[in-house]
A and B are shown apart, each in its own frame.
Chain A
Amino acid sequence: MKTATRWFSRNLIRIYMVLGFSYLFVPVLYTFIFSFNDYVKSNLVWRGFTWNNWKQPCGVLDVCPALGNSIKIGLLATFIATILGTLIAFALGRYAFKGRAVTNTLIFLPMASPELVLGASLLTIFLNLGMNLGFWTIVIAHVMFCISFVVVTVKARIASLDPRLEQAAMDLYADERETFRRVTFPLVAPGIAGAALLAFSLSFDDFIITNFNSGTTITFPLYVYTHAERGLPAQANVIGSAMFFLALIIVVLGQVVSKKRKVGA
């Protein structure tokens, strides 16, 4: 009786996990399957299997330029946000200074504000300043909402660093600069890499804030959204699936590398 209950409770969690992951992956799987659909105008009904969409991912008008914009914006925003956010994280993690509470609030608020408000308020100021909306306004917006996530990620890494490691370096004749270069930075670097990956995926996938500040520039999510009404080409599914697998490979490789590093040669 007791073992039966235990068996049930243990497997209940397993069953539940399978269901939960199915819920998460059903749309991804659907997107993937329909990337092989031999569609005519809109990719709604299954018409048979084809490799064509994967062979010609740019076979539809505008889809690849949109993807290109997303990648360019994503890389640029990630680069800027990672630098700015990492600097803030080091200030918060390594120094005592006045204005710490204000800084923390300023970092927290963008994460706690609905994207809609962020996008709308930025649009308001761009309009008031008479700025042309487009590539650069999107970059500005993406850097803004990515900074906080970078700060939080890198700060957590710095906080988990044993202060004795830096003390040990100082004890072993490394001055402040050498200690940072040889010990602090290499140990925080994986956190920075993780933060950059997070920033890129946030930027790449952003729709709401981008939609407010894009002007006539089209990113990949904007492309998908505007074409959803008229019927989405399967090439969008191809790109979505490809990005999914690419990201998965990067994450898995990252884990393998970090594990290998930990374990050593």
Chain B
Amino acid sequence: MAAVVRASGTATSELKKKSLVPYLLLAPGLLWLALFFVAPIITLVGTATKTPGAGIGEFIQTYRWANYWDALTGASAQFGRSFLYAFIATLLALAIAYPLAYGIAFKSGKYKNILLVLVVAPFFCSFILRTIAWKQILGQNGPVYRTLLDLHLISSTTHLTASVPAVIIGLAYNFLPFMTLPLYGSLERIDPRVLEASGDLYANAFTTFRKVTVPLSMPGVVAGTLLTFIPAAGDYVNAEILGNPSTKMIGNVINAQFLNTQDYPTAAALSFILMIAISIMVMIYVRKAGTEELV
């Protein structure tokens, strides 16, 4: 946003003023978002305060705000788990993606574009298919399990799938491109001369990395961690496919209550709480990280 205004510099006439045109351009898209994003969220808030009616799946608006509290206390374990898993998965993804992005930005020469395409490429092979692939790779019949068993590194009673690490590895895997691309974006913008200057000013490679590279790549770190944490916290596919009943995340609960038990008020309350909780965390994080430009 700010960039656009800045780009036109002193030329304020560049942005045409007092015209109806921008509103006409905005209208259809924003109307769509108002109808199918804003209105649904508001409806969600209302649905959450309904109580069961006569038939199954029928609910009457009674403004029972305590529903929120009940929903929260009823699923506090899953909430905690969601944020914990998402947090660890985000750190894991950051640890994997940072060197990857760094390598693409500074060490890949003319292969830069190809490597960038490769980062996004797995997206094109269905997300569910890939998660199932992980399940089979790590599963009892899969190559990883077999090898570890043959090497006597694990016993036959150990499971690689249906476990907490499997869920977290799956989450980190799924959102890795979301982490890598913004990191690459901010690393790529660093002028290599700045790094040379740091070396010239008696910083060794590690100090240069810590004092120059990392601070300059912070916008990418913030964007990447948000793009990973937010969907990871709301995900339930990984927990469903790679987990077991004790790894259920809040997404599994909301999903089940919407689609199986049809307890819409509780599901709506949980969804809204999830959204608010994530928004608050994001706000605190962004303020601490001191980055304003997100879009």
User: For the complex, is B234 an interface residue (Cβ under 8 Å from A)?
Assistant: yes
Chain A residues within 8 Å of B133, by CB: 26-28, 30-31, 34
Segment 103-153 of A: residues with Cβ below 8 Å from B: 103-104, 106-110, 112-118, 120-125, 127-128, 140-141, 143-144, 147, 151-152
Instruction: Output the least CB separation between B129 and chain A (Å).
Output: 4
For B104, give the chain A residue with the smallest CB separation.
A17
Q: State the CA gap A240–B129 with chains docked (Å).
A: 7
Q: Which of A20, A88, A207 contacts B237 (CB 8 A)?
A: A207
The answer to whether A121 touches B271 (Cβ under 8 A) is yes
The answer to whether A114 touches B278 (Cβ under 8 A) is yes
Q: State the CA gap A117–B15 with chains docked (Å).
A: 36
User: For the complex, is B39 an interface residue (Cβ under 8 Å from A)?
Assistant: yes
Q: State the CA gap A96–B17 with chains docked (Å).
A: 5
Chain B residues within 8 Å of A205, by CB: 123-124, 126-127
User: For the complex, is A68 an interface residue (Cβ under 8 Å from B)?
Assistant: no
User: For the complex, is A243 an interface residue (Cβ under 8 Å from B)?
Assistant: yes
Known: A128-B43, A163-B7. A112 touches B136 (CB 8 A): no
The answer to whether A17 touches B4 (Cβ under 8 A) is no
The answer to whether B99 touches A109 (Cβ under 8 A) is no
Q: Which of B33, B119, B173 contacts A27 (CB 8 A)?
A: B173
Q: State the CA gap A94–B7 with chains docked (Å).
A: 11
Q: State the CA gap A125–B46 with chains docked (Å).
A: 10
Q: State the CA gap A114–B275 with chains docked (Å).
A: 7
The answer to whether B1 touches A207 (Cβ under 8 A) is no
The answer to whether A147 touches B258 (Cβ under 8 A) is no
Chain A residues within 8 Å of B234, by CB: 114-117, 208
Segment 233-248 of A: residues with Cβ below 8 Å from B: 236-237, 240-241, 243-244, 246-248
The answer to whether B295 touches A108 (Cβ under 8 A) is yes
User: For the complex, is B279 an interface residue (Cβ under 8 Å from A)?
Assistant: yes
A-B pair count, CB < 8 Å, reads 269
The answer to whether A16 touches B99 (Cβ under 8 A) is yes
Contacting chain A: which of B19-27, B73-81, B149-157, B214-222? Answer: B19-27
Known: A14-B103, A103-B30, A228-B128. A248 touches B117 (CB 8 A): yes
Chain A residues within 8 Å of B36, by CB: 122, 125, 140-141, 143-144
Interface string of A6-40 (1 = CB under 8 A from B): 00011001101100110111111011001000000
Chain B residues within 8 Å of A212, by CB: 258-259
The answer to whether A120 touches B254 (Cβ under 8 A) is yes
For B26, give the chain A residue with the smallest CB separation.
A91
The answer to whether A30 touches B267 (Cβ under 8 A) is no
Interface of B is mostly: helix
Instruction: Output the least CB separation between B9 and chain A (Å).
Output: 8
The answer to whether B236 touches A158 (Cβ under 8 A) is no
Q: Which of A116, A124, A128 contacts B255 (CB 8 A)?
A: A116
Q: State the CA gap A144–B113 with chains docked (Å).
A: 30
Segment 210-228 of A: residues with Cβ below 8 Å from B: 211-212, 220-221, 224-225, 228
User: For the complex, is B107 an interface residue (Cβ under 8 Å from A)?
Assistant: yes
User: For the complex, is A257 an interface residue (Cβ under 8 Å from B)?
Assistant: no
Instruction: Output the least CB separation between A236 and chain B (Å).
Output: 7
The answer to whether B128 touches A95 (Cβ under 8 A) is no
For B39, give the chain A residue with the smallest CB separation.
A125
User: For the complex, is B8 an interface residue (Cβ under 8 Å from A)?
Assistant: yes
User: For the complex, is A93 an interface residue (Cβ under 8 Å from B)?
Assistant: yes
Chain B residues within 8 Å of A13, by CB: 99, 102-103, 107
The answer to whether A124 touches B274 (Cβ under 8 A) is no
User: For the complex, is B121 an interface residue (Cβ under 8 Å from A)?
Assistant: yes
Chain B residues within 8 Å of A173, by CB: none
The answer to whether A124 touches B44 (Cβ under 8 A) is yes
The answer to whether A224 touches B294 (Cβ under 8 A) is no
Chain A residues within 8 Å of B205, by CB: 9
Q: State the CA gap A30–B272 with chains docked (Å).
A: 38
User: For the complex, is A255 an interface residue (Cβ under 8 Å from B)?
Assistant: yes
For B234, give the chain A residue with the smallest CB separation.
A114
For A243, give the chain B residue with the smallest CB separation.
B124
For A16, give the chain B residue with the smallest CB separation.
B99
Contacting chain A: which of B62-70, B159-167, B225-233? Answer: B225-233
Closest 7 CB pairs of A and B: A114-B234, A247-B124, A121-B40, A84-B29, A27-B133, A95-B22, A91-B25
Which positions in B face A, CB cutoff 8 Å? 1, 3-4, 7-8, 11, 14-17, 19, 21-23, 25-26, 28-30, 32-34, 36-41, 43-44, 47, 96-97, 99-100, 102-104, 107-108, 113, 115, 117-134, 136-137, 139, 141, 173, 176-177, 205, 226, 230-231, 233-237, 241, 251, 254-255, 258-259, 264, 267-268, 271-272, 274-275, 278-279, 282, 294-295
Between A and B, 20 residue pairs with Cβ closer than 8 Å are: A13-B107, A44-B136, A88-B30, A97-B17, A112-B278, A114-B231, A116-B235, A117-B41, A121-B43, A121-B44, A124-B47, A127-B264, A141-B36, A163-B11, A205-B126, A224-B126, A237-B129, A243-B126, A246-B124, A252-B117
Instruction: Contacts A17-B103, A124-B44 known; list 12 others, CB within 8 Å.
Output: A24-B119, A27-B137, A28-B133, A44-B136, A44-B139, A95-B17, A95-B21, A108-B294, A112-B230, A114-B275, A116-B234, A221-B128
